[in-house]
Amino acid sequence: MKYLKIIGNKKLEGEINISGAKNAALPLLASTILAKNRIKIGNLPDVVDINTLLKLLEKLGSSYTKDKNTIHIETSTINNTKATYDIVKTMRASILVLGPLLARFGHCEVSLPGGCAIGQRPVDLHLKALEQMGAKIEIKSGYIQATCKDGLKGAKIVFDKVTVGGTENIIMAASLATGTTTIINAAKEPEIVQLCEVLEDAGVDIKGVGTSKLIIQGSDKKLLEFKDFNIIPDRIEAGTYMCAAAITNSKLTITNIIPLHLEAIISKLEEMNFEIIQEENSLTIMPTKDIKPVNIVTSEYPGFPTDMQAQFMALATQANGTSTIDERLFENRFMHVSELLRLGADIHLNGNIATINGTPSKLNGTDVMATDLRASSALVLAALVAQGETDIHRIYHLDRGYENLEKKLSEIGVDIQRHNE
């Protein structure tokens, strides 16, 4: 087991280059199951979740060669349709192989997923939608057993609530189905837009990309000819490093980004009195004399992302005044609060609302424990301004979603080291 030691209270300077988006790469890798050709994918982040999904695809019979952040993947050789518990238990996104496997082979078994313990994220919406497309689904011994003897059929799918994974699964399934599938109340995240664009380039007719209504014309089980592509930049990684600049009140440039994807994050930082200078593919955060408090309500894209509320909570501890965060998407996503309290933060919880009484320079280093991916990054941010040393344990959570975290932080002036427990 590894832990991070951070010595806080240092100014940052320089620039950070953002890696490819984990949350875009995962469905895109799953979508290669629909391909008949070998595909080259660039800007692939080297993080644990990606390597876990590649291991699963390999177990299903695909092969790949990887060189740094570029991969060549061949899935036409897949000969196994069982996604086993030993891999799926570590990462919820493994459920994304369900739609493409079922659409291509007419049957598959996928273990019920694991992943971060941030609250209930049931897959019932995925399963109900696939049943509407003609699949027969049973849950046996912890596995989803899905069959559709005559292939999936186009259908009208109305999601009761917005589901990113469910939207992705049905987009992929619909791409090989017979007939037209309409998805109502589809998620609109940039990662979903890229999935649609890659499938469009592979010949799938998709109308309404980027809106809540998608109309997909299926290929009638014909495998697709994919074109090579690059993964979009990771907006959550970018947002995390923007918060690193803000919490230390430092000037920092973030490169390899799409500013449009960061509008909700930029808006909240501007509310907190930070000037942000935007370029076409980068932005620079300027220090401020007075960090103002902020009120945040998480919601689906293009609203404020739930994946950024933990980082903003850490930032709010340094504001002059009281901030609130209303978490609307997950019921168990404040597990980092108890660890921030250990560092000296003043935070009160009332159901899904956190109240943060900010006092600049109040935090003190101590031992803290990461509980999930984004909570981990909040603890790193808090450690940047804590007096003395902070040791962050269970950092395998961080490795799931941040590429070269220590290297990137070291290069802008953070005193950070990884040690064995």
pLDDT reported for residue 162: 94
Under 8 Å CB-to-CB from 30, ≥6 apart: which residues?
Answer: 53, 93, 96, 97, 99, 100, 168, 172
pLDDT higher than threshold 60 for residue 55: yes
pLDDT reported for residue 114: 56
CA pair distance 352, 331, nearest whole angstrom = 7
Residue range 26-47, pLDDT digits in tens = 999 999 999 999 999 999 999 9
pLDDT higher than threshold 50 for residue 120: no
Lowest-confidence segment of 23-32, 113-122, 261-270, 404-413 by average pLDDT: 113-122
Distance of CA 97 to the CA centre of its chain: 17
pLDDT reported for residue 88: 85
Place of tokens 């609060």: 337
Rounded (10°) CA dihedral 85, 90, 96, 101:
-30
User: What's the whole-number mean pLDDT along residues 167-179?
Assistant: 98
Alpha carbon separation from 272 to 8, 286, 300, 312 (Å, rounded): 22, 12, 22, 10
CA pair distance 343, 348, nearest whole angstrom = 14
- pLDDT band at residue 119, thresholds of 50, 70 and 90? very low
pLDDT reported for residue 115: 45
pLDDT higher than threshold 70 for residue 238: yes
pLDDT reported for residue 394: 94
- pLDDT band at residue 89, thresholds of 50, 70 and 90? confident
Confirm if 224 and 202 have CB atoms less than 8 A apart: yes
Residue range 260-314, pLDDT digits in tens = 999 999 999 999 999 999 999 999 999 999 999 999 999 999 999 999 999 999 9
CA pair distance 187, 212, nearest whole angstrom = 6
pLDDT reported for residue 118: 33
> Percent of the chain scored above 90 by pLDDT?
89
User: What's the whole-number mean pLDDT along residues 212-224?
Assistant: 98
Residue range 318-342, pLDDT digits in tens = 999 999 999 998 777 788 999 999 9
For all residues of the chain together, what is the average pLDDT? 95
> Percent of the chain scored above 70 by pLDDT?
98
pLDDT higher than threshold 90 for residue 113: no
Under 8 Å CB-to-CB from 256, ≥6 apart: which residues?
Answer: 17, 18, 19, 233, 281, 282
- pLDDT band at residue 116, thresholds of 50, 70 and 90? very low
Residue range 240-260, pLDDT digits in tens = 999 999 999 999 999 999 999
User: What's the whole-number mean pLDDT along residues 225-242?
Assistant: 98
User: What's the whole-number mean pLDDT along residues 339-358?
Assistant: 97
The encoded tokens of residue 310 equal 């933990």
Based on the residue annotation, tell me whether 116 is a catalytic residue of this protein. yes
Residue range 366-376, pLDDT digits in tens = 999 998 888 89
Catalytic residue among 116, 148, 196, 243: 116
- pLDDT band at residue 123, thresholds of 50, 70 and 90? confident
H, E, C per residue of the chain: CEEEEEECCCCCCCEEECCECHHHHHHHHHHHHHECCCEEEECCCCCHHHHHHHHHHHHCCCEEEEECCEEEEECCCCCCCEECHHHHCCCHHHHHHHHHHHHHHCEEEEECCCCCCCCCCCCHHHHHHHHHCCCEEEEECCEEEEECCCCCECCEEECCCCCHHHHHHHHHHHHHCECEEEEECCCCCHHHHHHHHHHHHCCCEEECCCCCEEEEECCCCCCECCCCEECCECHHHHHHHHHHHHHCCCCEEEECCCHHHHHHHHHHHHHCCCCEEECCCEEEECCCCCCCCCEEEECCCCCECHHHHHHHHHHHCCCCEEEEEECCCCCCCCCCHHHHHHCCCCEEEECCEEEEEECCCCCECCEEECCCHHHHHHHHHHHHHCECEEEEECCHHHHCCCCCHHHHHHHCCCEEEEEEC
Residue range 57-79, pLDDT digits in tens = 999 999 999 999 999 999 999 99
pLDDT higher than threshold 80 for residue 121: no
